[in-house]
Homo-oligomer: A and B are copies of this chain.
Amino acid sequence: MNTFNRLQPIGIFDSGIGGLTVVKEIIRLLPNENLVYFGDTARVPYGTKSDSTIKEYSIQNTKFLLTHNVKLIVVACNSASSVALNEIKSRTNVPVVGVIIPGAMASVTASRNKRVAIIGTNATIASKSYDREIHNIDQHIEAHGKACPLFVPIVEEGWMDHEIAYLTAKEYLHSLEKFSYDTLILGCTHYPLLKNVIRKVVGENITLIDSGIETAKQVKNILSDMNLLNSSEHKPNRKYFVSDLPHKFKEIGEMFLGEKIESLIKVEI
């Protein structure tokens, strides 16, 4: 028996603001859905924290989303997706989708020479979580990660079109050239905002995998399979919650989301 209904919102959480690029893709693909977003801005970043702390925070965030009666949970955070997905799944009967597996799956499908490069934060690359998921799908794929620690602050400064962004992308991606990959995973929720500059550096022959887009597709598939897609014609309700309101959050958040944030509420978690 299906205990959910179509009008229930999709819940999304991230350690901060980056998950809004995933929300953007969910809105593009599923414009009728009600959404509840939680950004744990008081405790960002997760990547530098221990596995047990990330699990603890992820459970707390999940409980918060469940109080909003969500029908599906998206873990729009690479660190939490990598470490806490099973822990979250064991606590709820709501379907749970992370950002790593959809990105890994898409890269395996896309790569013809079986060489996939991954760019991400220091923490994501050190965790090798994309490499692991790629090998779970196809152990013959060669995966190679490159940490790009300047990309997040460049995006948060809004310097995506600045020469600094171009030079930085050139510097990072140049060191990947000898790996001869044909597919590049943007393994951080901030990176889709740098897609133009990355494309300019790598040229037209590399397939860029945007985990946000792949995750949104996965969300649509699951809701469709469960007959839970919202077909209502009502204006959807999109609520944004954060655990802290840092300087410029709304401004940066709207840049990530590509639309206005109408309701932004600070909550204790």
Point out residues on A near B: beta carbons under 8 Å.
42-45, 48, 50, 122, 126, 149-150, 153-154, 156-157, 159, 162-164, 167-168, 171, 246-247
Contact = CB atoms under 8 A, between A and B. Distances in A.
21 contacts: A42-B50, A43-B48, A44-B48, A45-B48, A122-B246, A122-B247, A126-B246, A126-B247, A149-B153, A149-B156, A149-B157, A150-B153, A150-B154, A150-B157, A153-B153, A159-B171, A162-B171, A163-B167, A164-B164, A164-B168, A167-B167
Number of copies: 2
A153 B150 CA distance: 6
Nearest first, the 6 closest Cβ-Cβ pairs linking A and B are: A149-B153, A150-B153, A164-B167, A164-B168, A164-B164, A163-B167
Given A44-B48, A126-B247, A247-B126, A164 B171 contact: yes
A contact patch SS: loop
Contacts of A153: 149-150, 153
Contacts of A171: 159, 162, 164
A17 B126 CA distance: 18
Nearest to A168: B164
